[in-house]
Amino acid sequence: MHPKPKKSLGQNFLVDKNIQEKIIAACNLKKTDTVVEIGPGKGEITKFLLATVKKVVAVEIDRALCERLVEQFRPYPNFTLLHADILKTSLAHYKNLKIIANIPYYISTPIITYLLQYRKQIKVIYLTMQKELAGRLVATAGTKAYGSFSCFTQFYTQPKILFPIKNTSFWPKPKVDSSFVELKILKTPRVKVKDEELFFRIIRRGFNQRRKVLTNSLATIAPIKKLQGALRGRNLSQTVRAEDLSLEDFARLAGCLSG
Ligand code: SAM
């Protein structure tokens, strides 16, 4: 039985055997690992995981695919299937998790944001995602792709693009190419921040109006004089824009503006 791919669930199956093997090799799996696989689909990656690691917890939202997966992997005692939405699945009772996912493009950002809430339970996240999003995750200050999501991801993880994946590796073929990405969870966030809420508010507000100079886009967060003083203290020009600031700069700015 071959259920018809559901576009609404971002079902583009990875059919290229070479890429399947390349993904497994890149994940550096150990016999002792517990892996959460998001969206196992037809189990193309799952079958390799089951042969390699201690435990695989697969989270699949599609009932028809779940029925297939249960049948397919019945002989494997290390396989657990959750018929669930990953965005509603608690990972709180796990530790040292590896996450592996070829996730639908339209929820890549919510999934990464959701997973990072469980960063204490996770060691590393491996994701197949749209090439442009991967570029944003690793982008640094002063580049066009750099934005609030780059800052958010780099605050908590060490992101790395491992290799590209052509759209022809999937069926049905998506419009865009993909990248396979590693997000290593950092033991402590990349920069020291006293008030994380303020830090991310500054970043979001700054990038929401990325063409504006920072002193204007942050005018509702702090008085202009205080902002100007904070930029001077960091040796930054009064006309900088959010895209010019590193995480360290944002952290210092938040430090100056808090309290
Ligand atoms: N891993 C398979 C592969 O590589 O061929 C399937 C990848 S396909 C791009 C995405 C999979 O995620 C589909 O099986 C889809 O049903 C599932 N999915 C979509 N949204 C989901 C969600 N919110 N929670 C869990 N699984 C989801």
* Matching residue, tokens 């930054």: 236
The residue whose CA has the least distance to atom 20 of ligand 1 is 9
Mean per-residue pLDDT pooled into runs of 10, the chain (259 residues): 83 97 98 98 97 98 97 97 98 98 94 98 98 98 97 98 98 96 98 96 94 92 90 92 96 88
Q: Write down the pLDDT at residue 258.
A: 84
Q: Write down the pLDDT at residue 4.
A: 86
Domain 7-185 falls in which CATH fold?
A: Rossmann fold (3.40.50)
How far does the centroid of ligand 1 lie from the alpha carbon of residue 150, in Å? 24
Q: Write down the pLDDT at residue 239.
A: 94
How far does the centroid of ligand 1 lie from the alpha carbon of residue 105, in Å? 10
How far does the centroid of ligand 1 lie from the alpha carbon of residue 129, in Å? 12
C-beta neighbour count of 38 within 10 angstroms: 23
Q: Write down the pLDDT at residue 253.
A: 93
pTM of structure: 0.96
Q: Residue ranges per domain, the chain?
A: 7-185, 196-258
Q: Write down the pLDDT at residue 2.
A: 63
Tokens of 138: 């690793």
Whether domain 196-258 has CATH 3.10.180.10: the reply is no
The residue whose CA has the least distance to atom 19 of ligand 1 is 9
Q: Write down the pLDDT at residue 118.
A: 98
